């Protein structure tokens, strides 16, 4: 087949569609928002609600394979589609959409998340804070991204009067970490797994700001253990495509933060900094093509996100020597919104 359906219309879909185009594929985008920066570079756009199963079924009829650029696609409607079209299988979404489930899944695979307690009702929070201690972070189980849906609990009093949303929360210990890194892998239809190098990831206010290679020595010391964990997760899910696991490098070893069943912001540097990018390898994997080499093309690589207002000064970004500038084409810059990124190699 030669037509790829992508569920979700953001910049990850845009970069997937651009890689797909390079390999001669056409992409169809399905997303609920009118504005879609992925649709702008794709063959067609179905703008419909996730629960509009008629629209979804119609969409699927025009595709040979369907993938996701958004991890919170509701899985219910996907059950109505031919399951062999979906890559990765929706089970990966199911696990990653719920922080409590995700952490238990990781524990079952032998990994270590931060100590946590799942909370369903307001009345359970004080107890959770007592058990885990402070400082901690209260996170919604569902729908959080870029640090949204998170509250710091620095002392017990901070937990008073906090309302737990319907879909629940997890309360987890705030980790003392030396740095953050992610493991990004691609798994092919034959089960082959390849990893990209792990950058050091820096966040500002819960939003990824910067990735850098080489990562500090502690990452090199912990990345093998983190990769083993990620490989186990991918195999357990019979995963197809690119999968990302985020880690804290702590004195006690790698602590799992969360996973994303998709290409990831911390892998954007692979477009220019690796022999094969995360986007191209995701397309290769879901289309059953041979996977490309994931080696970095330089030992020294930096990626900076362009966030919020003032991020769109194209001439300024282009004036930096060796800068590879990516703008996502979003019509409106808002505080905390990812507008583009810049990669420098070497």
- Residues near ligand ATP, by CB under 6 A: 114, 137, 139, 144-148, 172, 174-175, 180, 203, 206, 246, 257-258
User: Residue 285, exposed/middle/buried by CB under 10 A (0-12, 13-18, 19+)?
Assistant: buried
258 is in an annotated binding site: yes
180 is in an annotated binding site: yes
305 binds, among Mg ion, ligand ATP, none (CB under 5 to 8 A by kind): none
64 binds, among ligand ATP, Mg ion, none (CB under 5 to 8 A by kind): none
Adjacent-strand bridge partners of 325: 342
Adjacent-strand bridge partners of 255: 248
176 is in an annotated binding site: no
Lookup: tokens for 180: 């953050």
Tell me the closest approach of the beta carbon of residue 31 to Mg ion, in angstroms.
19
| Cβ atoms of 155 and 134 closer than 8 Å | yes
292 is in an annotated binding site: no
Tell me the closest approach of the beta carbon of residue 244 to Mg ion, in angstroms.
9
Q: Which is nearer to Mg ion, 58 or 145 (CB)?
A: 145
CA distance 178 to 234: 26
Q: Which is nearer to ligand ATP, 222 or 257 (CB)?
A: 257
Tell me the closest approach of the beta carbon of residue 82 to ligand ATP, in angstroms.
29
Residues contacting residue 313 through CB under 8 Å, at least 6 positions apart: none
Of the ranges 43-51, 78-86, 242-250, 278-286, which one interacts with Mg ion (CB under 5 A)?
242-250
Residue of 212, 136, 138 whose CA lies nearest to 181: 212
**Cα torsion for 286, 283, 307, 214, to the nearest 10°?**
100
69 binds, among Mg ion, ligand ATP, none (CB under 5 to 8 A by kind): none
Angle at 153 between CA 151 and CA 155, to 5 degrees: 160
CA distance 292 to 194: 9
28 is in an annotated binding site: no
Tell me the closest approach of the beta carbon of residue 156 to ligand ATP, in angstroms.
17
Q: Which is nearer to ligand ATP, 180 or 272 (CB)?
A: 180
80 is in an annotated binding site: no
Lookup: tokens for 323: 């800068």
Q: Which is nearer to Mg ion, 27 or 245 (CB)?
A: 245
Tell me the closest approach of the beta carbon of residue 45 to ligand ATP, in angstroms.
25
110 is in an annotated binding site: no
341 is in an annotated binding site: no
Counting every residue, how long is the chain?
346
Residue 47 parent element (H or E) = strand 44-47
Residue of 118, 113, 158, 119 whose CA lies nearest to 135: 158
Alpha-carbon distance values, 234 to 28, 37, 143, 298 (Å): 26, 29, 22, 27
Pattern of binders to Mg ion over 188-227, x per CB under 5 A?
----------------------------------------
Q: Which is nearer to Mg ion, 77 or 261 (CB)?
A: 261
**Helix, strand, or coil (residue 264):** coil
Q: Which is nearer to Mg ion, 246 or 272 (CB)?
A: 246
Q: Which is nearer to Mg ion, 258 or 272 (CB)?
A: 258
Positions in the binding site for Mg ion (CB under 5 A): 246, 258
Annotated binding site for ATP: 99, 139, 144-150, 180, 203, 257-258
């Amino acid at each position: 087949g030669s037509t790829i359906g992508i569920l979700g219309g953001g910049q990850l879909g845009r970069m997937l569609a651009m890689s797909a185009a390079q390999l001669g594929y056409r992409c169809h985008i399905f997303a609920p928002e009118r504005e879609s920066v992925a649709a702008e570079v794709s063959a067609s756009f179905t703008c419909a609600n996730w629960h509009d199963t008629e629209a979804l079924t119609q969409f699927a009829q025009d595709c040979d394979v369907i993938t996701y650029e958004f991890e919170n696609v509701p899985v219910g409607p996907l059950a109505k589609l031919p399951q062999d079209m979906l890559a990765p299988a929706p089970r990966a979404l199911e696990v990653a959409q719920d922080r409590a489930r995700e952490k238990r899944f990781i524990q079952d695979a032998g990994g270590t998340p931060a100590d946590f307690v799942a909370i369903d009702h307001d009345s359970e929070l004080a107890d959770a804070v007592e058990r885990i201690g402070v400082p901690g972070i209260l996170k919604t189980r569902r729908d959080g991204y870029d640090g949204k849906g998170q509250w710091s609990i620095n002392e017990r009093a901070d937990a008073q009067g906090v309302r737990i949303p319907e879909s629940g929360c997890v309360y987890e210990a705030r980790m003392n970490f030396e740095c953050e890194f992610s493991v990004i892998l691609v798994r092919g239809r034959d089960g082959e797994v390849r990893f990209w190098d792990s950058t050091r990831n820096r966040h500002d206010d819960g939003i990824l700001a910067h990735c850098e290679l080489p990562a500090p020595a502690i990452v090199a010391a912990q990345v093998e253990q983190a990769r083993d964990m990620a490989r186990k997760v991918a195999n357990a899910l019979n995963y197809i495509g690119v999968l990302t696991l985020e880690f804290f490098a702590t004195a006690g070893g790698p602590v799992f933060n969360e996973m994303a069943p998709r290409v990831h912001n911390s892998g954007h540097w692979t477009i220019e900094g690796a022999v094969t990018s995360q986007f191209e390898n995701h397309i290769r994997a879901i289309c059953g093509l041979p996977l490309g080499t994931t080696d970095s093309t330089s030992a020294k690589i930096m990626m900076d996100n362009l966030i919020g207002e003032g991020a769109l000064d194209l001439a300024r970004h282009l004036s930096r020597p060796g800068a590879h500038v990516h703008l996502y084409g979003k019509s409106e810059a808002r505080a905390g919104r990812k507008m583009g990124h810049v990669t420098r190699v070497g």
